[in-house]
Chains A and B, each alone.
Chain A
Amino acid sequence: MDRDKMLHEIMALDFALIDLNLYLDTHPTCTETIELFNNVAKKRKVMIESFEAMYGPLTAINYTNSEDMWDWVEEPWPWERKYGCKE
């Protein structure tokens, strides 16, 4: 999968997790939502791992693939136009 497509999928999964997280904060015994959260979180974990292996780190602290170069400094950064749509 190309970088931007994969990134957008991760962003969509993360958004679902953010929203479910807030819901669970005020409904902590809703087992149906907990199950949904766990499933999305597992899917996200797998996606993040393959994204980082191919395209570099999303977080500096969990990333173990840098070798000759500290990959974290690689451009572009999220606020730049080309971040979500590298041509």
Chain B
Amino acid sequence: MWIYEKKLEFPINIKNPNPRLAKLIITQYGGPDGELAASLRYLSQRFTMPTGETKAILTDIGTEELAHLEMIGTICSQLLKGADCETLKACGYDPAYVDHGCGIYPMNASGVPFTAAYLQSKGDPETDLIENLAAEQKAKTTYEYLLHMTDDPDVIAPLRFLREREVVHFQRFGEALRIVQDLKDRKTYY
């Protein structure tokens, strides 16, 4: 189960509205390498993890990804707040606006809705953990691309934080993979 804590994992306070940037960053909400895909991927895969360590790491990283989903929703919502119709049009946000207003909807940067096809849960721990290494790497690259798109320090700080977390998750999944492979080796020997 989960219990909500009334706070973010990292502080976000964006002063300047920028709908164009919101349209790009929303991909980390509902896009292929986004936080929704990440949390669903790990929280689904954990049911077939073989050891206490691997069940724990998928549960805990999956949970942290939910906090990241909240951070991305927060960034996009603050970037949209206070933007008038003229700005929305000038920023190219009008197609998203007619479908969702200033609501936060899980979609990629081109407006394609979220799909579970972005993730896999294969029932094999080694396979799943290797997928997760790639997923963390892709998320990290997406954050780097997003960082190229802005010079607003209020946006850069949380994006950098999120990018760093992908590096840590990559590291932890590598260790989990090691644990699973050692277990497999032990089973073949005896």
**CB within 8 Å of B: which residues of A?**
7-8, 10-11, 14-15, 18-19, 21-23, 25-28, 57-61, 72, 77-79, 81, 83-85
Contacts and interface: CB of A to CB of B under 8 A. Distances in A.
Contact of A26 (B6, B77, B175): B175
A21 B7 CA distance: 19
A60 B61 contact: no
Interface string B45-82: 00000001100110011001000001001100110010
A29 to B, nearest CB: 10
Contact of B7 (A18, A27, A58): A58
Contacts of A84: 8, 11-13
Interface of B: 3-15, 52-53, 56-57, 60-61, 64, 70, 73-74, 77-78, 81, 168-169, 172, 175-176, 179
A22 B63 CA distance: 11
10 nearest A-B pairs in the assembled complex, by CB-CB distance? A26-B175, A79-B74, A25-B56, A25-B57, A84-B11, A78-B8, A22-B172, A58-B6, A78-B7, A84-B13
Contacts of B10: 11, 15
6 contacts: A18-B60, A22-B60, A22-B168, A27-B175, A79-B73, A79-B77
Contacts of A61: 3
Contacts of A8: 11
A77 B78 CA distance: 12
Contacts of A81: 13-15, 78, 81
Looking at chain B's contact residues, the main secondary structure is helix
Contacts of B169: 22
A27 B64 CA distance: 18
Contacts of B60: 18, 21-22, 25
A37 B56 CA distance: 16
Nearest to B73: A79
Nearest to B169: A22
Given A79-B73, A79-B74, A81-B78, A22 B7 contact: no
Contacts of A58: 5-7
Nearest to A7: B7
A78 B3 CA distance: 15
A43 B8 CA distance: 19
